[in-house]
Amino acid sequence: MQKTVFVTGGARGIGEGVVRRFAAGGWRVAFCYRRSADRAQALCRELPGLLAICADVAEEADVSRAVAEAQAAFGHLDALVCSAGVAQYGLLQDVTPAEFDRLFAVNVRGVYLCCRAALPDMIRRRMGSIVTVASMWGEVGASCEAAYSASKGAVITLTKALAKEVGPSGIRVNCVSPGTIATDMTRALGPETLEALRAETPLGALGTPEDVAEAAYFLAGDAARFITGQVLGVNGGFVV
């Protein structure tokens, strides 16, 4: 039977890479986006059969509607990939409470809401896989990204705890932890900072969305059937 995945933040960056990888693997793919309607529509034209849904992962009603729409279209979800995320750069004392709250609303609350919406049917079917997307800074912290690091650290801990909670129901929960990936988000750092990060990476290169997507695809699929509660670093050796 053809498998189905729901991907958050699927219109750009890592999420787009995930959508493309699962589609190439023969999965039925539903994905949500918040503001990138043009890119979402272009992706659907390029890869017929995708289901694009406009939704803010920080809003409970949006998430409930999006997951229900995906389930109605495809019957069930075999996998959920939580790749939607936002970043915030700067000294902690310069991060406003509103910016801090938005980081956690998208990066942490969004994962919680999506898992909460997808789990009941997975538990009923006693099968399913959830893949979260964190960051190497959630593992070790980054100067001038303290709030972002904290949000991604929360994703890692949530992943591990949820894996223990739903494992007896036949559901696996794992995390992909990217390093510096060439996306619109990281381009905001500027060429000098990106070059410094590249030089510090043992493999001497920045990652691509495809690199992260390949890891997510592996963790979601049957090849990883005995893997749960793990954090798979995709960082070129920056964090070991």
- One of 3.90.180.10, 3.40.50.720, 3.40.1010.10, 3.30.413.10 is the CATH number of 4-231, namely 3.40.50.720
- pLDDT (0 to 100) of residue 43: 98
| Residue 107 pLDDT exceeds 90 | yes
Domain parsing of the chain, residue ranges:
4-231
Question: What is the per-residue pLDDT across 72-96, written as a single tens digit (0 to 9) for each?
Answer: 999 999 999 999 999 999 999 999 9
With a pLDDT cut of 90, the percent of the chain lying above it is: 95
Question: What is the per-residue pLDDT across 164-202, written as a single tens digit (0 to 9) for each?
Answer: 999 999 999 999 999 999 888 888 788 998 999 999 999
Catalytic, out of 33, 89, 112, 148: 148
Give me the count of residues in the chain. Answer: 240
The order of strands in the sheet holding 171-178 is 51-54, 28-33, 4-8, 79-82, 128-133, 171-178, 231-234
Q: At what angle do helices 13-24 and 37-46 cross, to 10 degrees?
A: 20
Backbone φ and ψ for 230, nearest 5 degrees, come out as -105, 155
| Residue 104 pLDDT exceeds 90 | yes
Considering the entire predicted model, what is its pTM? 0.97
- pLDDT (0 to 100) of residue 187: 80
| Residue 114 pLDDT exceeds 80 | yes
Categorize the per-residue pLDDT at 163 as very low, low, confident or very high, splitting at 50, 70 and 90: very high
Active-site annotation holds for 112: no
